[in-house]
Each structure stands twice: as structure tokens, then as C-alpha cells.
Amino acid sequence: MDGSVVSGAQGTHWVEVARLEDIPRLGSRVVATATGDIALFRTSEDIVFALDDHCPHKGGPLSQGIVHGQAVTCPLHNWVIDLNSGEAQAPDVGCVKRTPVQVQEGRVLLALRA
């Protein structure tokens, strides 16, 4: 698709992966990338987050969890992951890798490694 590469910095490119409306509010979509699946989450306030689709507990697909506030609950054993930090909520301990994401004119752009 044309114009998907918006800018480049330190070997990463902003790549368009979806339109905002592709992701349901309080829902998620999965993006397949060279380094594995990434889950895009959209909050009730239309903030979009991108985290590896892989729970730090036992690898559950976070994209299939329930989104609430700025957190998602893993569908397998209910760990709650903070979408801002990628950290699991206490008492659980673990962290999910985040990927920079931005929404421009309804286009969701991910910072992917070239």
C-alpha cells in the first residue's frame, strides 16, 4: 500500500497495519509480523496500544482477552496486563514487549524493524 512508510528512525519504519475502525472499541486485532504476532488494543477512549500477543504467564493470546481501562485480561488464567507498561498487575509478575504505535487520520501505524 502506498504511503505506508511514514518516517524512518533508527532502523524502524512506521508501517500502516490497520484502520482505527478495524479494531473494535474495547477490543483487539492481531497483526502478523516478522517477529511474531502483535496484538493491537483499542480502549474506550480510542487510545491504541500494541503489545506482543503472548502472555508472560503461559503464552496466552492477549488479543483474545477482555479490554478494560488501559489493561487487558488474559483469556487463559486472568492475568491482568497494563497496556501502558506491559507489566502484569500484582501479585503476578511479568512483562510483555510493547511496540510503538500511533494513529494518524484513522490509520494505525506500527514502528516495525526494517
Partner 1 sequence: MVRLLSATAAIRTHTRMNMLSPQRQRLVVIGNGMAGMRTVSELLARTPHRYDITVFGAEPHPNYDRIALSSVLAGEKTLDEIVINSRAWYEENKIRLITSDPVVAIDRVARTVTSSSGLVAPYDRLLLATGSKPLVPPLPGLTLPGVCTFRDIADVGQMIAASETHQRAVVIGGGLLGLEAAWGLRRRGMSVAVVHLMPTLMERQLDVAAGTLLQRDLDERGIAFFTNGQTEEITGTDHATGVKLADGREVPADIVVVAIGIRPNIDLARACGLEVNRGIVVGDDMATADADIYAVGECIEHRGQVFGLVLPIWEQAKVCAARLAGDEDAIYVTPPLSTKLKITGIDVFSAGALAAAAEEDEELIYQDKKRGTYRKLVLRDNRIVGTVLYGEVKDGPWYFQQMREGTDIEAIRDRLILGEAAASLTGTVDPTAKVAALADSAEICGCNGVCKGTITGKITELKLTTLDGVRAHTKASASCGSCTPLVEGLLALTAGVDAKAAGPRPMCKCTTHGHAFVRRAIVADGLKTIPKVMQHLGWLRPDGCHSCRPALNFYLLCAWPGEYVDDQQSRFVNERNHANIQKDGTYSVIPRMWGGQTNPTELRAIADVADKFGIPEMKVTGGQRIDLLGVKREDLPAVWADLNAAGMVSGHAYGKALRTVKTCVGSTWCRFGTQDSTSMGVALEKMTWGSWHPHKVKLAVSGCPRNCAEATIKDFGVIAVDSGWELHIGGNGGIHLRGTDLLCKVETPEEVLEYCGAFLQLYREEAYYLDRTAPYVERVGLDYVKAQVVQDAANRKALHARFLFAQGFAQFDPWAAGGHVANTFKTLVPAE
61 is in the binding site of which of partner 1, ligand FES, none (Cβ under 5 to 8 A by kind)? Answer: partner 1
SS3 107: strand
The span from the CA of 6 to the CA of 3, in Å, is 6
Whether the CB-CB separation of 95 and 88 falls below 8 Å is answered with yes
What single letter denotes the amino acid at residue 74? C
Rounded CA-CA distance 83/51 in Å is 7
Binders of partner 1 among 2-61, rule CB under 8 A?
Answer: 4, 15-18, 22, 24-27, 29-33, 37, 40, 43-44, 58-61
User: What is the Cα–Cα distance from 2 to 75, expressed in whole angstroms?
Assistant: 36
Between 12 and 89, CB nearer to ligand FES:
89
Site string for ligand FES, 45-74 (x = CB under 6 A): ----------x-xxxx-------------x
Residues that bind partner 1 (CB under 8 A): 1, 4, 15-18, 22, 24-27, 29-33, 37, 40, 43-44, 58-61, 64-69, 71, 73, 75-76, 78, 80, 110, 112
